[in-house]
Amino acid sequence: MGLKERGAITGIGETAYSRNSGKSVVALQMQASLAAIADAGLAPTDIDGIIAYAPSGVVAEDFVTNFGIPDLRFSATTPMGGASAVAAVQCALAVVATGVCRHVLIPLGRNGASGSRISARVREMPQFRVVSEFEMPVGALAPAQLYAPMARRHMELYGTTSRQFGEIAVATRRHAALHGNAIMTAPITIEDHQASRMIADPLRLLDCSLESDGAAAVVVSAAERARDLARRPVYVMGAAEGHPDSPSVISQRPDLTTLGLAKAAPRAFAMAGVGPADIDVAEIYDCFTFTVLCEIEDLGFCPKGEGSRFVESGRIAPGGSLPVNTNGGGLSYCHPGMYGLFLLIEAVRQLRGECGARQVPDATTAIAHGNGGVLSSQSTVILGTGTTL
């Protein structure tokens, strides 16, 4: 039994993103979840599956209590860092396709700016045990320090430059300027990027994603239920998860320029029956500019080593041949601490044609990718508005 188009994204919801929400993480996730459920035309009591993100401290039982869910048939967690949300979609798809549930809620959110520091959050996650034991004691405390060698290796192997990383920062800021919920909307130039302070060589301030408070949620429904709901369903055409070699620590990978995405992407494309050339819009995890460049390569939009040239000349910016992160991504919209879910939501909005000034014309197929970073878990979902159902 295949999973292609056996389920659909039927509801999406977000809170405002800010530096200080003044709300608890539970309250933020409840707010986003109620918005997603209402968007689908459902009631909270219609939810019979929940895939929560345990490290946020919010569990399925919180939703049962607050929403009055009478019969929760399935609950799970997919604690994979930035890949958590997209991996949860694959899990939800399997659950609705096999009849276990009708409507699965995926909530994510945290106070990433006003809450604990990133290094503290890293230590709390069991997947980071090797990093915490062997690398943090010698000063590798934050993700920028762990990703920097990957970016430097790409530069040494392929001649990639810091200015090419800047192309990604500038393009995503242009996208963010068209979105009313984005945190950073002031235009920036390559020169601004080059003048921003160094964080972990070669990554500068404008190479790094934001920290923010907020939450997002989606509802995944069984295909036969999705047709009768309030919104035009966006069907999941393909989904996959991949883990690279040395999944616990980046520094021990045999190839620093290849992500787990290189394993996940071919499987997702094969399930969907499409290829990179068929994708109209890409929403891919951008904890750093370098990851976007590397993911473009591993997704097959260009050969390995050519991502630096792919991102030049406005190709991924508004009006480009492959618009990337049309809401501004983690670099300008909000922190990917919403763990990739806000990218999935943007892909759904693009396919529904709801994006106004940032709408990609005639978008019918989109890809959303979540990057687990140091956790090494990578997940990819390909969405489409067309269906044979």
Known catalytic residues are: 285, 333
Please, which residues bridge with residue 49 across strands? 74, 104
Residue at 317: amino acid letter: A
Cβ of 253: how many Cβ atoms within 10 Å?
Answer: 18
Q: Are 280 and 364 in contact (CB under 8 A)?
A: yes
Secondary element (H or E) of residue 120: helix 118-124
197 secondary structure, DSSP code: P
3-class state of residue 369 by DSSP: strand
Write out the two tokens for 188: 């920036």
Closest CA to 4 of 264, 208, 345, 271: 271
Please, which residues bridge with residue 106 across strands? 218
CA distance 354 to 383: 15
Burial readout 256-286 (b: 16 or more C-beta within 10 A, e: otherwise): bbbbbbbbbbbebbebbebeeeebbbbbbbb
Q: Are 135 and 249 in contact (CB under 8 A)?
A: yes
Task: Provide long-range contacts, Cβ within 8 A and 24+ apart, for 96-99.
Answer: 96/6, 96/7, 96/49, 96/220, 96/221, 96/222, 96/223, 96/225, 97/1, 97/3, 97/6, 97/7, 97/222, 97/223, 98/1, 99/222
Q: Are 150 and 290 in contact (CB under 8 A)?
A: yes
Residue ranges with strand state E in 112-226: 198-200, 203-204, 213-222
